[in-house]
Amino acid sequence: MELTDILTPEGVIPSLKAKSKKHALQEISHHAAEVTGIADRQILETLLKREKLGSTGIGKGVGIPHGKLAGLDRLHAMVARLDHPVEFDSADDVPVDVIIVLLAPEEASGDHLKALAKFSRLLRDPPLLEKLRSQTTADGIISVLTTERASNAA
């Protein structure tokens, strides 16, 4: 599975204005609803339910909320670069300004876990993360995440 299979320009929000973690997840859920055809309320409830189990803030200003949803036909990735970091209850207490949302079909096998691991590895690379933060377009963000160097991180 390649990231280009699950991440499209329509799934990228290059400049998200949010005042809190919940607000960011609401905005991303609304955007994800347009891309997936699943109700934004259902997406938000799934993401918030996952957050109650423990924060998906992985550190270094990155959060990777994820969940499984009935009605999805394939794995979807959404990427949001926040204009201002928000508190995300991350283990390192660093506010989050990059959010990757993974939405998987309810009956998904291990592909969503592979995608989660791939994004986690990618976003641990400080130069790649810095380059990602400097992007202002969907195409630029996708390019950073799918370059050869990024592909090798998997």
Which residues are designated catalytic? 66
Q: Which residues are registered as beta bridge partners of 86?
A: 96
Across the chain, where does the E strand assignment appear? 12-16, 57-59, 62-63, 66-69, 76-86, 96-105
How far apart CA 92 and CA 115 sit, in angstroms, is 23
Measuring CA to CA, which residue among 34, 56, 39, 38 is closest to residue 47? 56
